[in-house]
Amino acid sequence: CHIGLTEIISPLSLNGKLFGYLFFAHVFSFDDLDSGVKEISANAKGYGFDEKTVRTLCAKMPIKSNDFIGASANLLSAVATYLCMQKSSLSKKTELATDVEEYILAHLDRDLSAEALSKTFGIGRTKLYSILNDRFGESLAAYVKRLRLEKAKQLLSEDEDAKISDVAEKCGFLDYNYFIANFRRYFGVSPKKYAKQYSGK
């Protein structure tokens, strides 16, 4: 540091972007107390510290060897590498969750089972479930059903004359009666009644 103590600093970066630092400071790394006090006192004069004060403070700090400093630097570097790997892993998981979410929203009329999504993204079902649960806090089936029903509600709001069976199909519901029952459960009215209410009829 600027007054003579030793600092070890390891930058944390991901994809060329700095996101933090690890610090190990301040270390008294002189060969002996007297030589350290002499150098630090000269550097600390501008801050109002006299040599007696510097000596008192330095005497409380154990002298660390170059081997200790080197080992500390290696340890700090290892910790920095681990943290960067963890952040990279988290970043990739977040990107994958976003890709899965966007795919589901764009393909509500298709097969969105765990098997189908796992095949599409080349990941195992366990990893898929973990990603979705972390992102949405609900199961895949519940998440997809909710989005499909919200889309159905939107379509009915936009066109009160839309055929209920067509709306169900566009939203990925292969069973007409299942769609009716779930729509009523979620929104308190049947799809047909909802469309009429929204249009003011």
The per-residue pLDDT string of the chain (201 residues; one tens digit each, 9 = 90 and over) reads: 777 788 877 776 656 676 677 767 788 788 888 888 888 888 888 788 888 888 888 888 877 877 887 787 778 777 767 666 665 555 666 788 888 889 999 999 999 999 999 999 898 988 888 888 888 888 889 999 999 999 999 999 888 788 999 999 999 999 999 999 999 999 999 998 988 887 554
> For residue 62, what is the DSSP state?
P
Task: State the Cα–Cα distance between residues 184 and 192, nearest whole angstrom.
Answer: 10
Q: With beta carbons less than 8 A apart as the criterion, state whether 179 and 165 touch.
A: no
Cβ burial, residue 192 (10 Å; 0-12/13-18/19+): middle
Token couple for 100: 């899965």
Strand-pairing partners, residue 18, are 13
- pLDDT of amino acid 37: 84
- pLDDT of amino acid 183: 95
Task: State the Cα–Cα distance between residues 173 and 111, nearest whole angstrom.
Answer: 10
- pLDDT of amino acid 119: 93
- Phi and psi, residue 137, nearest 5°: 70, 20
Q: Helix 140-158 crosses helix 176-187 at what angle (to 10 degrees)?
A: 90
Angle at CA 187, nearest 5°, toward 186 and 192? 120
- pLDDT of amino acid 162: 86
SS3 18: strand
